[in-house]
Amino acid sequence: MVHLPEPLASFERVPLLFDHPSPLHLLPRLSKHVEKSSPAPVQVWIKREDCSSGIGLGGNKVRKLEYVFPSALIDGCDTIVTTGGVQSNHMRQVVAVANRLGLKTVLVPQNRPKSKPEAYDVSGNVQVNKILGAEYTAPGITLEDAAASLRSNGQKPYIISSGASSHLYGGLGFARWAFEVVEQEQNLGVFFDFVVVPVASGGTLGGMLAGFKLADRLQSSSSNDPAKKTRERKVIGIDTYNKPIGVLEASILEIAQRTARLIGLADGVVKPEDVVLDTRYNAGTHSGWSESTAEAVRLLGRTEGIVADPIYSGRALGAILDKAKLGEFAGGENVLFGNNMVNLIAYGDSGQSSELFARPIFMLWNSFYNTRLLI
């Protein structure tokens, strides 16, 4: 497993990931396609959080939950209460992890988008949650009210907010991820000038920012290579939520600074200018997508045989393709795409201009999720 410095190595963690880092490898055919329209050389790599764990079909939330669930266990709780959209990946992964640890789960779904087809309410993650035995409340009630109801019945609930990002330790999983990446860079003889990931609640990006600050500082201080002491990477978040300007950026900064303090960095090491959130690709709504996103999903599937979702990873990949075309990766050759979501889709024809989602696709899961690629 990845080598971690103190104090990061000593935080309580429930092991849920495979016993090796999530796969990281070049996308050679996609990169060749990108270079045709890019004014500068670009090599696109991928890190596979869809292949990081076999629990609940995997996904980036499992990595977060490794550090969140110990708090529930220490408190002696027997029921997890959490929320998310109807097709929330977070809710699915929470239910699966809770089952693994012998806890029940009550889900508080947010109100569904009115434009979605009937399949949206019964397929995909909803179907998986029912298989896993989750209980549902009525949509839109507060987590506190749901927890109070459980307490009145003698249960001991523990609340996990949507995305698990606001939890004190919600950023630690992706601080750890950053150290994985640095070790994989060393093994592969590559440096990622840009890291691009989708962002919703902010914990993934916030944790990465803190983790890379520490990992890169430690590597720089121990290296005799002047190039390694001056080379910097840029971590870019791709907005998927369309919140008012400044709201998500503030959340990400708070998470990054909180996580930085936890892992031993001084106040002020993570600065506001470190939070780079590109809002050009959110399609104006969390539950919809643009044609450029759909084209990116198609391209990844048809060049590399990897399926991405249209809400999170598809948007980040679409952003990478567009940024390369616009020359925004100039000065850096290697771009790491953080594929955070499992290949599970439940979207029918929503009237958007894409043949890709012309009919419901209930479950598309890459069967080689446990294949050990380049690590």
**Is the domain of 317 the same as that of 333?**
yes
In a domain, 313, yes or no: yes
Q: Which residues contact 365 (CB under 8 A, 6 or more apart)?
A: 57, 342, 343, 344
Q: Exactly one of 22, 38, 88, 287 is catalytic; which is it?
A: 88
- For 121-171, the pLDDT digits (tens) are 888 899 999 999 999 999 989 999 999 999 999 999 999 999 999 999 999
Structural domain ending residue among the three candidates 164, 197, 215 = 164
In this predicted structure, the answer to whether residue 331 has a pLDDT above a threshold of 90 is: no
Instruction: Report the amino acid identity of residue 238.
Output: I
Mean pLDDT of the chain: 89
In a domain, 363, yes or no: no
**Is the domain of 141 the same as that of 179?**
no
Of 242, 240, 245, 231, the residue nearest 204 (C-alpha): 240
**Is the domain of 103 the same as that of 174?**
no
In a domain, 20, yes or no: yes
**Is the domain of 13 the same as that of 66?**
no
**Is the domain of 187 the same as that of 211?**
yes
In a domain, 364, yes or no: no
Q: Which two tokens stand for residue 213?
A: 């600050």
Percent of the chain residues topping a pLDDT of 70: 87
**Is the domain of 200 the same as that of 321?**
yes
User: Residue 229 has what pLDDT?
Assistant: 59
**Is the domain of 32 the same as that of 133?**
no
Of 197, 201, 2, 10, the residue nearest 94 (C-alpha): 201
Residues 179, 215 contacting (CB under 8 angstroms) = yes
3-state secondary structure of 248: helix
- Known catalytic residue at 292: no
In angstroms, how far is the first alpha carbon of the chain from the final one? 11
In a domain, 365, yes or no: no
**Is the domain of 178 the same as that of 314?**
yes
In this predicted structure, the answer to whether residue 321 has a pLDDT above a threshold of 80 is: yes
pLDDT range class, residue 375, cuts 50, 70, 90: very low
Number of structural domains (the chain) is 2
**Domain housing 105:** 60-164
pLDDT range class, residue 231, cuts 50, 70, 90: confident
3-state secondary structure of 84: strand
User: Residue 120 has what pLDDT?
Assistant: 80
In a domain, 280, yes or no: yes
**Is the domain of 67 the same as that of 47?**
no
**Is the domain of 147 the same as that of 191?**
no
In a domain, 308, yes or no: yes
**Is the domain of 193 the same as that of 257?**
yes
CATH of the domain at 241: 3.40.50.1100
Among 50-59, 204-213, 244-253, 361-370, the minimum mean pLDDT is found in 361-370
Structural domain ending residue among the three candidates 135, 164, 193 = 164
Structural domain ending residue among the three candidates 164, 185, 209 = 164
User: Taking CA 254 as the corner, what is the angle to CA 250 and CA 259, rounded to the nearest 5 degrees?
Assistant: 150
Q: Which two tokens stand for residue 223?
A: 């290296």
pLDDT range class, residue 349, cuts 50, 70, 90: very low
In this predicted structure, the answer to whether residue 362 has a pLDDT above a threshold of 70 is: no
CA separation, residue 172 to residues 23, 352, 354 (Å): 19, 37, 37
> How many C-beta neighbours within 10 Å does residue 197 have?
25
**Is the domain of 241 the same as that of 280?**
yes
In a domain, 31, yes or no: yes
Average pLDDT on 221-235 reads 75
Q: How many residues does the chain have?
A: 375
CA dist 48 and 35 (Å) reads 22
Q: Extract the runs of DSSP E, i.e. beta strands, from 240-333.
A: 276-278
